[in-house]
Amino acid sequence: MAGKTLYDKVFDAHVVRREADGTCLLYIDRHLVHEVTSPQAFEGLKIAQRQPWRTSSMLAVPDHNIPTKDLDKGITDPVSRLQVETLDKNCRDFGVTEFNLGDPRQGIVHVMGPEQGATLPGMTVVCGDSHTSTHGAFGALAHGIGTSEVEHVMATQCLIQKKMKNMRVNVAGKVGKGVTAKDIVLAIIGKIGTAGGTGYAIEFAGEAIRDLSMEGRMTVCNMAIEGGARAGMIAVDDTTIAYVKGRPYAPKGEDWDKAVTAWQDLHSDADAVFDLEITLDAASIQPQVTWGTSPEMVVAVSGMTPDPEQESDSTKANSIRAALKYMGLAANQPINTIAVDKVFIGSCTNSRIEDLRAAAAVAKGRKVASNIKLAMVVPGSGLVKAQAEREGLDKIFREAGFEWREPGCSMCLAMNADRLEPGERCASTSNRNFEGRQGQGGRTHLVSPEMAAAAAVTGHFVDVRTL
Q: Compute the distance between CA of residue 29 and CA of residue 453 in angstroms, rounded to an integer.
A: 38
Is 231 or 348 the residue whose CB approaches ligand SF4 more closely? 348
Rounded CA-CA distance 363/451 in Å is 11
Name which of other proteins, ligand SF4, none residue 228 binds, using a CB cut-off of 5 to 8 Å depending on partner kind.
Answer: other proteins
Residue 347 Cβ, how far from other proteins at the closest point, in Å?
13
Q: Residue 206: how many CA atoms within 13 Å on its side-chain side?
A: 23
Site string for ligand SF4, 333-352 (x = CB under 6 A): --------------xx----
Site map 213..252 versus ligand SF4, x via CB under 6 A: ----------------------------------------
- Window 79 to 108, contacts with ligand SF4 (CB under 6 A): 108
CB of 366 to other proteins, least distance (A): 33
Check residue 413 for interaction with ligand SF4 (CB under 6 A). yes
Nearer to other proteins among residue 147 and residue 213 (C-beta): 147
C-alpha span between 139 and 3 (Å, rounded): 17
Q: Is 129 in the site for ligand SF4 (CB under 6 A)?
A: yes
Q: Tell me the longest C-alpha to C-alpha distance in the chain.
A: 64
Residue 12: Cβ within 10 Å count:
13
Closer by beta carbon to ligand SF4, 161 or else 347? 347
CB 251 → other proteins: shortest distance, Å? 3
Query: How far apart are alpha carbons 193 and 178 in whole angstroms?
Result: 24
The one-letter amino acid at 149: E
How far is residue 221's CA from residue 101's CA, in Å, rounded to a whole number?
27
The rounded Cα 294 to chain-centroid distance in angstroms is 16
Q: How far is the CB of 412 from other proteins (least distance, A)?
A: 10
- Phi, psi (deg, nearest 5) at residue 198: -60, 130
Pick between residue 326 and residue 386 the one whose CB is nearest to other proteins: 326
Residue 1 neighbours by CB distance under 10 Å: 4
**Min. distance of Cβ 239 from ligand SF4 in angstroms?**
23
State whether residue 124 is helix, strand or coil. Answer: strand
Instruction: Annotate 173-199 with DSSP letters as a single string.
Output: S-PPTT--HHHHHHHHHHHH-TTTTTT
Task: Please count the other Cβ atoms lying within 10 Å of the Cβ belonging to residue 45.
Answer: 18
Closest to other proteins by CB, 123 vs 338, is 123
| CA 336 and chain centroid, separation | 26
How far is the C-alpha of 270 from the C-alpha of 3, rounded, in Å?
7
The interface region with ligand SF4, picked from 42-50, 150-158, 253-261, 406-414 by CB under 6 A, is: 406-414
Query: Could you tell which of ligand SF4, other proteins, none binds residue 343, using a CB distance below 5 to 8 A set by kind?
Result: none
Q: Using the rule CB under 6 A, give the single segment among 155-163, 254-262, 311-319, 405-413 that binds ligand SF4.
A: 405-413
Q: Which C-beta is closer to ligand SF4: that of 36 or that of 236?
A: 36
| Shortest Å distance, C-beta 360 to other proteins | 29
Residues lying near ligand SF4 in the complex (CB under 6 A) = 63-64, 108, 110, 129, 131, 347-348, 409, 412-413, 430-431
